[in-house]
Amino acid sequence: MNTIDNKTVAEVVSENIKTAHIFKKYGIDFCCGGGITIDKACEKKNLDYSQLKEELLKVDDAPKAYNYNSWKLDFLIDHILNVHHTYVEESIPLILQYSNRVAEVHGHHYTEVLKINSLFNAVADELASHMNKEENILFPYIKSLLQLELSEEPLSPPPFGSINNPIAMMESEHESAGDIFKEIAKLTNNYTPPEDACNTFRALYAKLDEFEQDLHQHIHLENNILHPKAKLLEQNLINN
């Protein structure tokens, strides 16, 4: 997207459905009320047009590629918290708004959106509980192992016995969330909205697609990098 000047909200969303999420964040109606120019929409909402424009023009900026495997575990944990946990916490309310609305308006004709709405509500609850356990139990324990490694103090057994136990639970929950999204992807025909879908309908499918991609990266970082290294760290401390 090169410019948005003099374009209506609806035109910009039609060109790139990802911009719908930015308009939604600022309370700008991109669906039924999207026929006004973006600068007029900003005037009505008392928003800074230049700031909104900057966000809209950066919507497709690709994330940088990192060598996550080279990162220290505490840095990797902070990245997971700041990037992926924050993304989930910010995205769930938005997707629920889209999903509830689409189910209410279109569920009589496109009955699959009722099931999608139910599935996403379920996975949203699961992820909230899951991340709470990571933030309050698993991640602090891993960071405590790193401190013990530096101090060379002996390891006291945690209340859950071994890190293998919470990790097994986390990975089981990862699999459950992944299975739910496989079903959502199937119901949405791989996030392909109907030809006559309104912008909210299209925004829902686009955001679900984005959410699943982030979830895959999130799970990869934990299952394939963080967890194996944390297990090895604990075992090394036990052996020493």
Residue 190 lies in a domain: yes
Amino acid at 26: Y
157 and 223 together in one domain: yes
26 and 72 together in one domain: no
Summarize pLDDT for 93-142 with one digit per residue, the tens: 999 999 999 999 999 999 999 999 999 999 999 999 999 999 999 999 99
42 and 134 together in one domain: no
pLDDT at 14: 79
116 and 165 together in one domain: yes
31 and 106 together in one domain: no
Amino acid at 121: N
Amino acid at 65: A
Summarize pLDDT for 47-58 with one digit per residue, the tens: 999 999 999 998
Summarize pLDDT for 98-108 with one digit per residue, the tens: 999 999 999 99
Residue 1 lies in a domain: no
Residue 62 lies in a domain: no
49 and 118 together in one domain: no
86 and 188 together in one domain: yes
101 and 22 together in one domain: no
Average pLDDT, stretch 166-190? 96
Phi-psi region of 188 (alpha: psi -120 to 50; beta: other; left: phi over 0): alpha
Residue 63 lies in a domain: no
Residue 175 lies in a domain: yes
Summarize pLDDT for 186-235 with one digit per residue, the tens: 999 999 999 999 999 999 999 999 999 999 999 999 999 999 999 999 99
Closest by Cα among 116, 159, 139, 153 to 227: 139
d(CA 235, CA 228): 11
113 and 161 together in one domain: yes
229 and 133 together in one domain: yes
pTM: predicted TM-score of the whole model, two decimal places = 0.84
pLDDT band at 165 (very low <50, low <70, confident <90, very high): very high
Tokens representing 117 are: 């709405």
* Total structural domains within the chain: 2
73 and 138 together in one domain: yes
177 within 8 A of 206, measured Cβ to Cβ: no
d(CA 38, CA 99): 25
pLDDT at 171: 95
Over 90: is that where the pLDDT of 157 sits?
no
Residue 4 lies in a domain: no
Summarize pLDDT for 17-43 with one digit per residue, the tens: 889 889 988 989 887 778 899 999 999
Give the 3-state secondary structure of residue 64. coil
Residue 102 lies in a domain: yes
34 and 131 together in one domain: no
- The DSSP annotation for 121-188 comes to HHHHHHHHHHHHHIIIIIHHHHHHHHHHHHHTPPPPPPTTSSTHHHHHHHHHHHHHHHHHHHHHHHHT
> Positive or negative, the Cα torsion across 44, 45, 51, 54?
negative
Residue 2 lies in a domain: no
Question: What's the distance, Cα to Cα, between the start and end of the chain in Å?
Answer: 57
d(CA 101, CA 170): 31
pLDDT at 63: 67
Q: Which domain covers residue 39, as residue numbers?
A: 9-57
Residue 129 CB burial class (10 angstroms; 0-12, 13-18, ≥19): exposed
Mean pLDDT estimate for the chain = 92
d(CA 34, CA 203): 14
